[in-house]
Amino acid sequence: MSQLKLAPSILTADFARLGEEIRSVAPYVDWFHLDVMDGHYVDNLTFGPSIVDAVRRSCDLPLHVHLMIEQPAKYVDVFVKAGADRISFHPEVTDDPAGVIDAIGSAGAGAGVAVHPDVGLEQVRAHLEALDVILMMTVRPGFGGQAFLEEVLPKIKEAREIVNQSGRAADIEVDGGVNLDTVGRAVAAGGNSLVAGSALFDGLNAPAAAYRLKERLRELGHD
Ligand code: DX5
Ligand code: ZN
């Protein structure tokens, strides 16, 4: 198996010390996962492009922006300008997912479809040839710190089969409730990129937690 990737979500980081938090875990992780919420698609509100830009200036790692917003096409350019290397969106918010995927590609970023726990893989199948990442949600979008939804595991397996059969090297990123306990099941189902928010930040020793989770990924990936 190729190297398993760790992508911290900064949702539960201390925003008063954001640069420090980013730099403290950067040596042990592969990407940063930035959760943008608009109070419409989900109840919660988080941040916009200025925080993406702040993370961009705090490290050299690639940034994956997870849009949990309505009208994603409208905001693609501004997030790419702020430093997004990848953008994922929830296709159920639009009548034209292909248009959003095109807009992301034209802006120069990789595109991803985010799959809500209650939504199937139809949009993934329909647009697979244009996707760099499939973001499989193992919590209901909206908040960090929720419990991993075990019932999503068969759908992750199905997504892995779809990707492998296509021969496309899209990442399958598992997002929500990933920690030392759940990560093995997420990887066994076919996830190769793992988001972790509260398992790293949330008042913990973030670099030690990142180091331990990355070590576990090394063991699971045998590399
Ligand atoms: C949920 C977000 C996730 C989540 C990750 O809406 O998309 O990225 O916050 O945080 P934990 O690891 O705490 O579930
Ligand atoms: Zn996310």
Cβ–Cβ contacts within 10 Å for residue 178, how many? 28
Looking at the CA of residue 176, tell me the nearest atom of ligand 1. Answer: 14
CA of 7 to the centre of ligand 1 (A): 11
Write out pLDDT tens, residues 33-92.
999 999 999 999 999 999 999 999 999 999 999 999 999 999 999 999 999 999 999 999
Name, in order, each residue with C-beta under 8 angstroms of 16's C-beta and a sequence gap of 6 or more.
none
Residue 14 phi, psi (nearest 5): -85, 105
Cβ atoms of 58 and 47 closer than 8 Å: no
CB-ligand 1 contact for 144 (6 Å cutoff): yes
CATH topology for 5-221 is: TIM Barrel (3.20.20)
Task: List residues with catalytic annotation.
Answer: 35, 175
Cβ atoms of 76 and 98 closer than 8 Å: no
CA of 133 to the centre of ligand 2 (A): 13
What share of the chain has pLDDT > 90, as a percent? 96
Q: Is the pLDDT confidence value at 2 over 90?
A: no
- The residue extents of the domains of the chain are 5-221
